[in-house]
Amino acid sequence: MGADLQALKQTNAKKTQKRAVMLHKVYEHSELIAALVSGLIILIAWSLEGFLSPVWWVILHLTAFTVGGYAKAKEGIQETIKNKDLNVELLMIIAAIGAAAIGYWTEGAILIFIFALSGALETYTMNKSSREISSLMKLQPEEAMKLTDGEEELVPVSALEVGDHIFVRAGERIPADGMIVKGSTSVDESAITGESVPVNKANDNDVFAGTVALDGSITVKITKPSSETLFQKIIQLVHDAQDEKSPSQLFIERFEGTYVKVVLAVVAIMMFLPTIVFGWSLSESIYRAMILLVVASPCALVASIMPATLSAISSSAKKGVLFKGGVHVENLSNMNAVAFDKTGTLTNGKPKVTDVITLPGTDHDYIIAAAGAIEKESTHPLALAMTAYASKHAAHDFSAIPVTEVKTVSGNGLTASIDGVKWEIGKASFVGAEKAAVFHDGAADQLADEGKTIIFVKAKDTIVAMYALKDTIRKDTKKTISALKKQGIHTIMLTGDNKQTANAIAKEAGVDEFVAECLPEEKVDYLKQLRQQHEHVAMVGDGINDAPALAAADLGIAMGEGTDVALETADVVLMKNELPKITNAMNLSERMNRVIKQNIVFSLAIIGVLIISNFTQLLDLPLGVVGHEGSTILVILNGLRLLKA
């Protein structure tokens, strides 16, 4: 009995859920449904024209007016009251009522139908552009398993605080940003970075909300509130981008109010002036005034920009490029120069061992293993690189080498003892500048000229090895720089590194020029000079020291793995850290601007042709309605093409 009752409850719950989903879909498409119902009513009235009484004829058309025009009439009235200014929605309602007032009920109803249909298309564009956000939000769990004194408790993610510990089982999504304090797992970070290859994570590694712990359970210490996770920042960036309007859109909106007033004034004059001046009948003057009211409305012009902009933002978001507003999409294709930070932007930001030279007659493998064992005791980036090199290339098991008495000499290197032998690892001055200079016939100078950092290994009193390390450029850096140059864009590298290293990286990357030993404030000064030379300049960076330059540039572009400050300061974020996305986004920006220009020219041309045709009495109201509203639908559909860009 209890099992049957439970099954019945589950069935009812599923039915309720299905009804809720269905109701949501109906609500989401309510504008389109209303427009189509309005059109169906008009079709019924037209097909039964010979059988309907005048009363039913009027009732059906009034119903079509109400069903199709309610949403737009409500929007127009509310916006007029709020902004104390006339708008296109109100103009269309007046035009439809005017057409009905002079006996053209069907034409007025068709005007409402097509206007409602174009409005539904614009709403579809907005819903489509925000669908990416909805899918992202579904990826973040709403509950987390909180650990308190060893006890597990399921709590809302919003209730978690910084410092709390949560338990994430294998196969579960991580509900909040934090740091692993126990356990290890492979993490699928594709929702954040777009990379399909899982990343191995263990103690002290950071993990992010919305990612998946694949093959191991972990305990995570919360490091950020739920409202400030990287996931939430991505969602907020796209939300903000949809709300921020481009200069073209703002101009059109300012223009709209004035234009509507002018049209209404001209319509009022045209109701009587042609009768006095040209001898038209009063009914003909009023009829032509109503046509003018329809065809002169700037619906297509108003719809020329926003659907295209939202489509471009949505298309970019799907591909890992987040714009913080339409203004930035519009501006990107205008850039004449792009300045890049070096470390973490053009380069990977992590040094790698490129060359190892050992003293002839010594055990090459043992020296690599010994150096790796000693450097394992340090967390310095160069030490980590040398340890990583040893783990891949040493034939000996360096973890078994008995390293003792490890000491860090700040700014110089490490000393340690292996089987009673003193080892020293560090820069030339630390192991002996004179000996370092002549090691391997002075090979250090040549490697340093290539922009590499040189580390020497000394055992007893003899230098036994020399390591060359370099922050290697990203695999797609050359491709990006080359593509920008082909578009006629000047490329510059700004770095705080020394001239020798900067010169080597600049040559390898292929940038037009570089500035070395550049402090954050000097980057800003140099950007100001670039703006004077090239007018429109973008800055690409990832670190805290890049934030002032990102803010000073005409357009700031941040790498997705960059610091929070860089992400917040930038106008565009490359979430997948792929530099070629810059040129792809520039092409999309150029295409969007081209579509907007097409829409504006087309809509103005149609308005001009329709107005002239009306004054020459070549246009009737039905054709005016189709021409005007048809052009509105066409410009919206033209903008929607960018969703697949």
Tokens 């290859």 locate to 197
Contact 318, 575 (CB under 8 A): no
- 351-470: which CATH architecture? 3-Layer(aba) Sandwich (3.40)
The token duo for 116 is: 């409602």
Which residue, 565, 575, 544, 541, is CA-closest to 555?
Answer: 541
The helix (run of H) or strand (run of E) holding residue 643 is none
Strand partners, 469: 353, 453
Tokens 């490359």 locate to 574
Average pLDDT over every residue of 245-259: 65
| Spatial separation of the C-alpha atoms in residues 569 and 551, rounded to whole Å | 6
Catalytically active residues are 341
199: left (phi over 0), alpha (psi -120 to 50) or beta: beta
What pLDDT was estimated at residue 23? 47
Contact 303, 633 (CB under 8 A): no
Pairing of strands 537-541, 513-515: unpaired
Q: Is the pTM of this model over 0.85?
A: no
Q: Indicate if the pLDDT at residue 214 is higher than 90.
A: no
| Spatial separation of the C-alpha atoms in residues 239 and 325, rounded to whole Å | 9
Q: What burial class does residue 187 get, using C-beta atoms within 10 Å of its C-beta: 0-12 exposed, 13-18 middle, 19+ buried?
A: buried
| Spatial separation of the C-alpha atoms in residues 410 and 412, rounded to whole Å | 6
Q: Indicate if the pLDDT at residue 371 is higher than 50.
A: yes
Provide the CB-side half-sphere exposure for 382 (13 A, CA): 17
| Spatial separation of the C-alpha atoms in residues 108 and 291, rounded to whole Å | 10
More confident residue, 63 or 542: 63
Which residues contact residue 496 at a Cβ distance below 8 angstroms, ignoring those fewer than 6 apart?
A: 516, 517, 518, 519, 545
What pLDDT was estimated at residue 483? 94
What pLDDT was estimated at residue 411? 59
One-letter-per-residue 3-state SS of 194-212? CCCCCEEECCCCEECCCCE
More confident residue, 586 or 128: 586
Query: Tens of pLDDT along 99-123?
Result: 777 777 877 787 777 777 766 766 6
CATH code for residues 161-224: 2.70.150.10
How does the average pLDDT of the chain come out, rounded? 81
| Spatial separation of the C-alpha atoms in residues 504 and 645, rounded to whole Å | 37
Query: Tens of pLDDT along 273-287?
Result: 888 888 888 888 888
| Spatial separation of the C-alpha atoms in residues 159 and 414, rounded to whole Å | 46
CATH code for residues 323-347+474-589: 3.40.50.1000
- Which residues in 462-495 are b (16+ Cβ under 10 Å) and which e? ebbbbbbbbbbbbeebbebbebbeeeebbbbbbb
Which residue, 250, 244, 247, 252, is CA-closest to 313?
Answer: 244
Confidence band, pLDDT 50/70/90 cuts, at residue 17: very low
Q: Indicate if the pLDDT at residue 8 is higher than 80.
A: no
Average pLDDT over every residue of 166-186: 89
Report in angstroms the alpha-carbon separations of 246 from 308, 530, 585.
11, 24, 16
What pLDDT was estimated at residue 627? 85
Which residue, 519, 557, 559, 521, is CA-closest to 542?
Answer: 559
More confident residue, 370 or 264: 370
- Using alpha carbons only, what angle is made at residue 31 by residues 30 and 36, rounded to the nearest 5 degrees? 95
Confidence band, pLDDT 50/70/90 cuts, at residue 480: very high
The full DSSP string for 477-525 is: HHHHHHHHHHTT-EEEEE-SS-HHHHHHHHHHHT-SEEE-S--HHHHHH
| Spatial separation of the C-alpha atoms in residues 578 and 281, rounded to whole Å | 68
Domain positions in the chain = 161-224, 323-347+474-589, 351-470
The token duo for 392 is: 């891949």
Amino acid identity of 338? V
What pLDDT was estimated at residue 590? 93
Q: Indicate if the pLDDT at residue 233 is higher than 60.
A: yes
Q: What burial class does residue 618 get, using C-beta atoms within 10 Å of its C-beta: 0-12 exposed, 13-18 middle, 19+ buried?
A: exposed
Contact 100, 61 (CB under 8 A): yes
What pLDDT was estimated at residue 232? 67
Strongest mean pLDDT among 118-132, 233-247, 417-431: 417-431
| Spatial separation of the C-alpha atoms in residues 109 and 629, rounded to whole Å | 12
| Spatial separation of the C-alpha atoms in residues 172 and 139, rounded to whole Å | 11
Which residue, 308, 317, 160, 114, is CA-closest to 234?
Answer: 317
| Spatial separation of the C-alpha atoms in residues 615 and 606, rounded to whole Å | 14
